[in-house]
Amino acid sequence: MNYQQYKQSLGAYAADVHVASARAGRYAVAVGLGWVAFPFVVQTVLHPTDAVWLQMRLQGLTVPHAFTSQQAASGLIIAVFALAVLVLLQMVCTVLFYRRAQIEGSSVATPMLWPCSALAIGGVGNAIWWGCTGVFDPNGGLVGWSAAALTVGGELLCNKLGRDFVLGNGKVPVPYLGQG
């Protein structure tokens, strides 16, 4: 693939994402906010006392310097529950995004959103962390890429559930003027 073909396919992808986002409206915003929140929630599962710390701060309580094992276990349960709720919300918002976007393509999940998630959260987010702290953390880098993994899972789920579930019974995607 030469440079011109690459540039043309990248432009077509950007146009598809723009049209899909404009059609999806608030669901596009919800999917993006889920991408931003997901690495934080995954990190809280890895450090469950952060959930206890946040809960105590929100309640206006004095935060102790050390937490008991019971508090840490409680924080883990809270963080895992929050992660499960966020995954469910992200999957629902992804399905609603594709239902509203309705761009004609070979698969239901068109345009694919994982490159946007990988670039915005995995690439830029990790680069900002590395630039601000000056430390490259491989485990933190994997957490930063977790939103892209969630997006890939959501797109695979949409394609597996099929056109009728995602787009509605008997609906055919509406072509937009940019396609020939």
Q: Between the CA of residue 110 and those of 35, 86, 93, 106, what are the distances in Å?
A: 18, 23, 15, 8
Asked, for residue 177, whether it belongs to a domain, the answer is no
Task: Tell me the range of 37-41, 71-75, 111-115, 137-141 where mean pLDDT is highest.
Answer: 71-75
Asked, for residue 10, whether it belongs to a domain, the answer is no
Number of domains in the chain: 1
At 105, is the pLDDT very low, low, confident or very high (cuts 50, 70, 90)?
Answer: low
Residue range of the domain that includes 76: 15-167
At 180, is the pLDDT very low, low, confident or very high (cuts 50, 70, 90)?
Answer: very low
Asked, for residue 126, whether it belongs to a domain, the answer is yes
Cα 154 to Cα 98: distance, rounded to the nearest angstrom: 11
Asked, for residue 1, whether it belongs to a domain, the answer is no
**Nearest to residue 79, comparing CAs of 55, 58, 57?**
55
Asked, for residue 143, whether it belongs to a domain, the answer is yes
Asked, for residue 4, whether it belongs to a domain, the answer is no
Please report, rounded to a whole number, the percentage of residues in the chain having pLDDT higher than 70.
86
Quote the pLDDT of residue 81: 95
Asked, for residue 179, whether it belongs to a domain, the answer is no
Cα 59 to Cα 104: distance, rounded to the nearest angstrom: 49
Give the amino acid at 62: T
Asked, for residue 134, whether it belongs to a domain, the answer is yes
